[in-house]
Copies of this chain bind each other. A is one copy, B any other.
Amino acid sequence: MADPCIIALDAMGGDHGPGVVVPAALKYRARNPHVELILVGDEERLGDCLGKASRERLRIRHTTQEVAMDESPSKALRGKKDSSMRVAIDLVQRGEAQACVSAGNTGALMATARFVLKTLPGVDRPAISTTVPALRGHTHMLDLGANVDCTGAHLFQFAVMGSELASVVDGIRSPKVALLNIGQEEIKGNEQVKQAHELLLASSLNYIGYVEGDDIYLGDVDVVVCDGFIGNVALKSSEGVAKFIAQSLRAQFKRTLLSRLAALAAMPVLRRFGRDIDPRRYNGASLLGLRGIVIKSHGGADELAFENAIQIAEKEIRADISRRIGEQVERQLVAEPYKESA
């Protein structure tokens, strides 16, 4: 706790920019006074959001540019060297912050973080990892959209990083790692998945084999590995079903006078349930495989969701996640180099 814990926030990023980042930061700081937060963005706009009273509680690092939510990663990287996103990552690179959080566009964040921080030795591509609620508590899932065409070796690297993340963050000694696959025999899996399967079988990870989509939520598994296209579709489909269920249930409760009364009786339970699976409580995805901690918040995050992303950043700083993953990657991917059969 004596170590500094300084987190840079891309205050202009996301759909709501400082309107969400500033109040979230103030609340987080109020509850965690040992954490120092740097608001990176336009000084004047940030000052307006902060108000006089709370100005001394957060540091401001002035920047003149912003990365738009639909801006191309390459354009952001080349043309926006004084953007709030870029400067927040620069602060991590220079050691002035131990992590950064951005709700800005994923492609630009990944490209910029990769360019500025560089990948760990042995890691070809950083991956995006998040936790999803599950019967057993939660499951770590990666990749979620950073990489759409992965080789078996890439999937293996994701597995190594995900395993270490789960181990460090959840304190599990030997997390159960699985590859996401489909169930039919013989038409099972594509070439990349089969290749990763062989690499994992030969590794020292606690590899439990293939799981299917439903196991993400119901299975006895800590880390589920897949390529970014699959991971993104699985996650978005899940969000869709959850929203569909919530809306259908709400409609049912509104149907008749009697069902409205039933809703009244059930409300406390439904509310508590809603809090339990509130997606905002799972906001904050980790960019893994970089020489530094970068957390991606959902673009549409509200204050509660953004606070959660800051909390993940703090957790990863305390767990010294970059160093730990670096060591694990060194052990698994550099010291005993695996042979890529493709």
Contact = CB atoms under 8 A, between A and B. Distances in A.
Give this chain's copy count.
Answer: 2
Given A187-B107, A248-B273, A273-B249, A240 B240 contact: no
Nearest to A240: B214
A213 B186 contact: no
Contacts of A253: 266, 269
Interface in A184-218: 184-187, 189-191, 212-218
Nearest to A232: B182
Interface residues of A, number: 70
Contacts of A266: 253, 262-263, 265-266, 269
A218 B243 contact: yes
Contacts of A214: 236-237, 239-240, 243
Interface stretch (A24-32, A141-149, A161-169, A333-341): A141-149
Interface in A267-296: 268-269, 272-273, 276-277
- Main secondary structure, interface of A, reads helix
A263 B236 CA distance: 30
Contacts of A236: 182-183, 212-214
A133 interface: yes
Nearest to A233: B213
Interface string A64-86: 00000010111000000000000
A86 to B, nearest CB: 17
A174 interface: no
Contacts of A184: 105-107, 145, 232
Contacts of A172: none
Given A187-B146, A240-B218, A232 B245 contact: no
Contacts of A218: 240, 243-244
5 contacts: A133-B244, A145-B187, A147-B187, A248-B277, A255-B269
Interface of A: 70, 72-74, 105-107, 110, 133-135, 145-149, 180, 182-187, 189-191, 212-218, 226, 228-230, 232-245, 247-249, 252-253, 255, 258-259, 261-263, 265-266, 268-269, 272-273, 276-277
